[in-house]
Structure 1
Amino acid sequence: MNEKTVIQYLHERKAGVSSYLKPVPDTPIYLAPDKPFAGRFERVDGNPNECPTPGEHDREDFIWIECQPTTASRNISQRTKRSFRIRSYDHEDNRELVAESNIEEGFRLIKRAESRHNRIWDQPPARHYKLRDGSEHAHTFDYLIDEWNGSTSAYAIRPEADVDEQLRTAIRCIREQSLHGFADNAFIVTERFVTKAKIRNAIEILDARESRNEADVQIVSGLISRIRGGVMLDHLVQASRLGPRGRTALLCLVDDGILQFTRKERIGPTTLLRPASGLSKPH
């Protein structure tokens, strides 16, 4: 509390009033923290909760579920004074996830934007393997993901400059020796896949998913039947007459698989959208 705030508080207290005194509410309140804290609302009856925040008259139908701890098999070590660890919140699984680089976190955002049904496991148990000389080694993948199509994939995320023969050999040996029962395949992912444009687009899709307004989505859905070929995002926003909310609703349709981008590029006003040829993935 700074000096100005303290002086203001003393003046208000001397005058017999205070902006810091909050009356006890007469209506039921949410069972939720009174400060920013990771978690989500869930329905008491167990049915899916379509909206992130319940309405005023639905308070007794929801409870606040605190974020669950990470399931990582190891604590990420701090290699140097400049190295850092990232702890993020996965809303779909209501669980904490850890990473040790921006490229790892960017990959997680991209995979989560692909589908809310992906199950993302951070730092899964290490896989053991043997080299030709008989020496035993172990490798911990950065992510194990149960994909929306039913397959399970293990991912080693590295900057391309750090992908050496030792890592390639480790992944190849694991594929041959200890991948069965753990994953269907293993991949090395670099910044060639985790681009800045993909990360930015993933963040926009996830923000739209969190801010979804079903009424706005229904309004922009009425425009889909009139689209022939690619139409600029800005033109669709203007046609919706919803302003910035129209952009969010259109990105929700992209997230639903109803609209799709004509080109792989950073989302912007001139980005072309067209009706999707079919629901290629469940969202």
Structure 2
Amino acid sequence: MLEFRLALLLMSDRDVVNIEDQPAPVWYLMPGETKRRYTIFDFRVTYASGRVEAYAVKAAERVDADEIELIVECVNAQSLEGFADEAFVVTDEFFTIEMAENAEDIVEARKSRNDSDCRAVLEFIRRHDGPVSIHDICDAFEDRGWAKTAILNLIYDGEIEHLDPTETFDESPLVQAVFH
């Protein structure tokens, strides 16, 4: 489930341009050993900036037992050339279930994007000085569903921001326009 949740967060990030699930193995040496080992990262992610990061996803309680932090440290020191710019361990402490739920909503909304709906909702939000509730925005339009889809697409676009991204959109519905 942790890998799935991280995948949702990555897919909902407009800066992510490519996600590779379990890319090719990376070889490394553990301290004091002469026999090479390999590891397979859960994801290799390319960002719009060109930066490439590899992620090993583990439950926080498994990090020590699996020596994953030491493995990633060895890989970072020895084996990243041509594979990634940097590798990281990502645990369930990195994100909340609520953040993953929001990401899933954004991923689903992107499939039904309508640019004219997005423009109408953004115009409505920009008329407000400060935060406005997602519920109030949806109530202002004839079709609550398309308004909500537009809101989620605007969050993805970076045109509006969710003011408490650690909570679900329903539990903490305030958003505001981002002025660039």
TM-score, length of structure 1 as denominator length = 0.59
Match of 2:149 in 1: 248
Q: Distance in 2 between matches of 1:268 and 1:202?
A: 13
Q: Write out aligned runs for 1:91-130 (5 A).
A: 102-115=1-14, 117-130=16-29
Larger relative helix fraction: 2
What CA distance in whole angstroms lies between the structure 1 residues aligned with 2:154 and 2:28? 44
Q: Which runs of 4+ in 1 moved over 6 A?
A: none
Unaligned runs of 5+ in 1: 1-101, 279-283
Contact 1:111–1:118 (CA<8 Å) still a contact in 2?
no
Report how far residue 194 of structure 1 moved: 3.7
Larger relative contact order (Cα-Cα within 8 Å, sequence gap ≥ 6): 2
Q: Distance in 2 between matches of 1:218 and 1:176?
A: 47
Q: What SS class does the counterpart of residue 181 from structure 1 fall into?
A: coil
Aligned counterparts of 2:150 and 2:85: Cα–Cα separation in 1: 36
What is the aligned counterpart of 1:147 among 21, 33, 47?
47
Bigger radius of gyration: 1
TM superposition shift of 1:117: 4.6
Structure 2: gaps spanning 5 or more residues? none
C-alpha distance in structure 2 between counterparts of 1:116 and 1:213, whole Å: 20
Q: Which residue of 2 aligns with 1:181?
A: 82
RMSD of the alignment, in Å? 1.7
Question: How far is 1:239 from its partner?
Answer: 2.0
Q: How many aligned residue pairs are there? A: 177
Give SS of 1:240's match: coil
* Structure 2 letter corresponding to 1:184: D
Q: Which residue of 2 aligns with 1:133?
A: 33
Return closer, same or farther for 1:269/1:136 CA change in 2, 3 Å cut-off.
closer
The percentage of counterpart residues that share the same residue type is: 29
> What TM-score does the superposition give when structure 2 sets the normalisation length?
0.90
Matches within 5 A, 1:45-60: none
The residue number in structure 2 matching 1:220 is 121
